Amino acid sequence: MPDDLIPSAVDIGGLKRISGTRYMPFFKYVLPLAMYAGVCAWMLSDESKKPHPDYPTLAVTFAIVGVIMVVVFKRRRWGLADQVLDGGDYLVIRRGKRQARIELANVSEVSLESGPPTKVTMQLKVPSEFGQKISFLPNPTSRNPLATSSIAEDLVQRVRRLNLDRAS
């Protein structure tokens, strides 16, 4: 496969998009709802074929599956930034219609959670409007889903260098 299938960082007015696409709300909200609806439809179809369907138990099962999905998606996806733009010494974070500028000097630590996909979490010294921690999924830099993102590694190194320079 040619390497040009891997999306490169997009330049937006001097800022590089290192995370997010216009489809991020779809992946965060519409896809999980469609998954839930599909699972419920499958379970309802299966139950309705029985000679004596137990719909009250099925309704409780729907509620339990719904609660589990909300908890999982709240922890894993709904808190992610929709888009992250890199301005060199600062990042512009967008979530929904809100936007915040985060100076790299305000980032105390960057941690990576191996994927797939790789998840980047930045711990801030001074909280932003998005809180003390900001997480996002960096754009892929390799066709290998288990490979560490070079965007994420670069951000980790830049924050480490900045914090070491400030300490000395």
Residues 37 and 53 in one domain: yes
pLDDT, tens digit (0-9, with 9 covering 90-100), for 59-102: 999 999 999 999 998 888 888 999 999 988 899 999 888 999 99
Q: Is there a single domain that holds both residue 35 and residue 104? A: no
Same domain? For 95 and 155 the reply is yes
Rounded Cα distance, 27 and 10, in Å: 20
Do residues 133 and 102 share a domain?
yes
pLDDT for residue 12: 62
1 against 118, higher pLDDT: 118
Predicted structure pTM score: 0.75
Query: Which residue range is the domain that position 32 belongs to?
Result: 24-78
